[in-house]
Amino acid sequence: RIEEAASVFQNIVRTEPDNADAWHFLGIIAAQTGHTDAARKMISQAIGINALQANYFISLARVETNTGNHKSAISALNKAISIDPEDAGAYADLAEVLHATADHKNAEAAMMRALQISPSTVDFYERAARMLQDNGNSAEAANFYRKAIDVRTEILEKAQTQQSHMSEIPRISLGQI
């Protein structure tokens, strides 16, 4: 399926060389298949066409992070955040890259901003807990793991409530209309 998707996007860029989304998706596919140099070039091509898409910079940052180029990853994430200051995922990714560079103070600030923007994202609490645990702060990490469990429980309870409300809606057959 990845080969099919790559073929589709390659055809698009052949006929529409200024299609930033197609270049971006080709870059993601290249990254997923281990072709990091090609991924970097394709995502950079997308950015060159449309430098106002925060997700392009986030994708580039992930490629840079996976190749250990933390400085470039931080730069790309800061650019994504400047484009979309409410992108909680960009802050969470930035926190992890900063953590990897031992900039724990700024990593913590970035993760707190991610949680402030998106307080119901379980993954962010778990990522914060892992970072705290890595830093030797087990007690605080445990608090974040508990919060992740609480948020997950709230989400499940809301889903169950919605499902029970849906079952209360009477079913109407076409013959009744």
Which pLDDT score, from 0 to 100, does residue 112 have? 96
CA distances in angstroms from 110 to 43, 94, 165, 170, listed in the order given: 24, 7, 38, 47
pLDDT value of residue 173: 59
- Residue 168's pLDDT band, with cuts at 50, 70 and 90, is low
> 0.75 exceeded by the pTM?
yes
Question: What is the chain's length?
Answer: 177
Q: How far is CA 53 from CA 43, 49, 86, 112, 126, in A?
A: 11, 10, 13, 23, 27
Mean pLDDT of 114-135: 95
What would the pLDDT profile of 86-113 be if each residue is shown by its tens digit? 999 999 999 999 999 999 999 999 999 9
Residue 61 to residue 21: CA distance in whole angstroms: 17
